[in-house]
């Protein structure tokens, strides 16, 4: 049966990526799209790359009739999302792409987002959306919280290593390069082409990036004790893609084996042969994650490199993977697109 889908925030980057992916999904049909400043416009006016599709016009959220909607994707800014979702029908299935429902602990939310959560009961209800590690909970969930894109990249590299007990938990360093579309589509001065092309810089350094809240929550849960990693993202002049270089202490071969074993049966996770390292250009536009491991000249040190597309596996692709589970569909439906190369 075809499922009726609404996309809130369809005039943004992740919203447009949802439309691109759902356009060829065998069991999803888009029945409503929302914009804020762009409400009233046709999607083809906002995004000429989608003009071959027959899509509903962008509406304000309060103009949408949710009675015939089976699932809504919510691709809105943080804070706006919790207000909007609080006002939606309580039986509507929702995949939220914002940060609003990722952290379980209200105090942690306040620490990383600077103000108290306005919908703590929904925060409790939400399931964390890192599909390969929360599959069973996601299947039965009404509200799923998509992960941060940086947070997903780091976790794919590190979670199996904590699970297998092959690394020193007190010495994990994530050095990450992030593509510009990760910052969203709204105009920001520091995202002007002239100011970010031909250069790269660290941001949210010194252990201040809000995705550390997700790393703390998830790694400590697996380890059964507090685990804190060092994490520095760098804004990199590419449109899509994230590359995380994760430096760990552990036997490199054991590190590689732990990742290869854990992801052996996963459709979207590819562990490269030992010594081979991945590139963002091999996963662009796709839902795949590539992971490579190499040893260091210093014995007992390993480098794990993970790459994914922030707009696909890092947000909208992951969201569709989770929606497939929530709707009882094939988990990979609509997501087997090959990467765009070169």
Ligand X SMILES: CC(=O)N[C@@H](CCC(=O)OP(=O)(O)O)C(=O)O
Ligand Y SMILES: NC(=O)C1=CN([C@@H]2O[C@H](COP(=O)(O)OP(=O)(O)OC[C@H]3O[C@@H](n4cnc5c(N)ncnc54)[C@H](OP(=O)(O)O)[C@@H]3O)[C@@H](O)[C@H]2O)C=CC1
3-state secondary structure of 31: strand
Mark the segment that binds ligand X (CB under 6 A) among 63-71, 143-151, 259-267, 283-291. 143-151
The residue written with tokens 């449109």 in the block is 239
- Backbone phi and psi for residue 21, each to the nearest 5 degrees, phi listed first: -75, -40
Establish if 11 lies at the interface with ligand Y (CB under 6 A). yes
- Where does this chain touch ligand Y (CB under 6 A) — which range of 7-15, 221-229, 267-275, 285-293? 7-15
Q: For ligand Y, which is the closer residue by CB, 186 or 197?
A: 186
Catalytic one among 74, 149, 301, 312? 149
With CB under 6 A as the contact rule, the residue among 182, 252, 285, 292 that binds ligand X is: 182
Q: Residues 30, 5: contact at Cβ < 8 Å?
A: yes
Q: Are strands 28-34 and 3-8 parallel, antiparallel or unpaired?
A: parallel
Least CB distance to ligand X at residue 124 (A): 20
DSSP assignment of 104-168:
S-HHHHHHHHSS--S-HHHHHH-EE--HHHHHHHHHT-SEEEPPPHHHHHHHHHHHHHHHHT-S-
Q: Which is nearer to ligand X, 162 or 242 (CB)?
A: 242
Distances (CA, A) of 116 to 44, 57, 103, 217: 38, 35, 12, 18
**Under the criterion CB under 6 A, does residue 22 sit at the interface with ligand X?**
no
The most distant pair of C-alpha atoms in the chain lies apart, rounded to whole Å, by: 61
Answer for which of 3, 5, 6, 9 binds ligand Y (CB under 6 A) is 9
Torsion over CA: 82, 325, 7, 62 (sign): negative
In the complex, minimum distance from the CB of residue 82 to ligand Y, in angstroms, rounded to a whole number: 11
The only residue of 18, 21, 99, 260 in contact with ligand X, by rule CB under 6 A: 99
Nearer to ligand Y, 280 or 302 (CB): 280
Determine the residue with CB nearest ligand Y.
12
* Residue 280 binds to ligand Y (criterion: CB under 6 A): no
Strands 127-128 and 242-249: unpaired
Q: How far is the CB of 209 from ligand X (least distance, A)?
A: 6
Q: Which does 324 bind (CB under 5 to 8 A by kind): ligand X, ligand Y, none?
A: none
Number of residues that bind ligand X (CB under 6 A): 10
Q: Which of residues 65-94 bind ligand Y (CB under 6 A)?
A: 75-78, 80
| 220 and 226 Cβ atoms separated by less than 8 Å | yes
Give the residue ranges of DSSP H helices in 226-275.
Answer: 252-263
Q: Does 84 bind ligand X (CB under 6 A)?
A: no
Q: Which of residues 147-186 bind ligand Y (CB under 6 A)?
A: 148-149, 181-182, 184-186
Catalytic status, residue 312:
no
Residue 178 CB neighbour total at 10 angstroms: 23
**Spatial distance between the Cα atoms of 148 and 55, rounded to a whole number of angstroms:** 28
Question: Which string of x and - marks every residue 212-241 that binds ligand X (by CB under 6 A)?
Answer: ---------------------x-x------
Report, as residue numbers or ranges, the catalytic residues: 149
């Amino acid at each position: 049966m075809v499922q009726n889908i609404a996309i809130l925030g369809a005039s943004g980057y992740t919203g447009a990526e949802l439309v691109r992916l759902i356009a060829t999904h065998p069991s999803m049909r888009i029945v409503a799209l929302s914009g804020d400043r762009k409400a009233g416009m046709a999607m083809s006016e906002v995004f000429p790359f989608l003009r071959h599709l027959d899509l509903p016009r962008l509406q304000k959220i309060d103009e949408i009739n949710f009675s015939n909607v089976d699932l809504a994707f919510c691709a809105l800014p943080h804070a706006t999302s919790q207000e909007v979702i609080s006002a939606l029908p309580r039986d509507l299935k929702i995949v939220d792409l914002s940060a609003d429902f990722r952290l379980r602990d209200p105090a942690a939310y306040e620490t990383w987002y600077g103000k108290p959560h306005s919908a703590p009961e929904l925060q409790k209800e939400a399931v964390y959306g890192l599909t390969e590690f929360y599959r069973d909970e996601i299947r039965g969930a009404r509200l799923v919280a998509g992960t941060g894109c940086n947070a997903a990249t780091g976790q794919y590299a590190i979670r199996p290593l904590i699970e297998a007990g092959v690394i020193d938990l007190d010495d994990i360093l994530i050095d990450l390069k992030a593509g510009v579309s990760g910052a969203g589509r709204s105009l920001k001065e520091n995202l002007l082409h002239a100011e970010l092309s031909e250069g790269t810089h660290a941001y949210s350094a010194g252990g201040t990036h809000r995705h550390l809240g997700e790393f703390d929550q998830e790694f400590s849960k697996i380890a059964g004790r507090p685990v804190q990693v060092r994490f520095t993202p760098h804004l990199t002049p590419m449109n899509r893609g994230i590359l995380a270089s994760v430096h760990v202490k552990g036997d490199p071969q054991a590190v590689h084996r732990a990742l290869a074993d854990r992801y052996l049966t996963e459709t979207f996770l590819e562990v490269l042969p030992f010594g081979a390292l991945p590139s963002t250009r091999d996963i662009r536009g796709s839902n795949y994650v590539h992971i490579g491991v190499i040893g260091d000249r210093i014995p007992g040190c390993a480098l794990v490199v993970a790459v994914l597309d922030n707009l696909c596996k890092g947000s909208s692709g992951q969201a569709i993977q989770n929606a497939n589970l929530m709707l009882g569909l094939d988990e990979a439906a609509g997501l087997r697109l090959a990467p765009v190369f070169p």
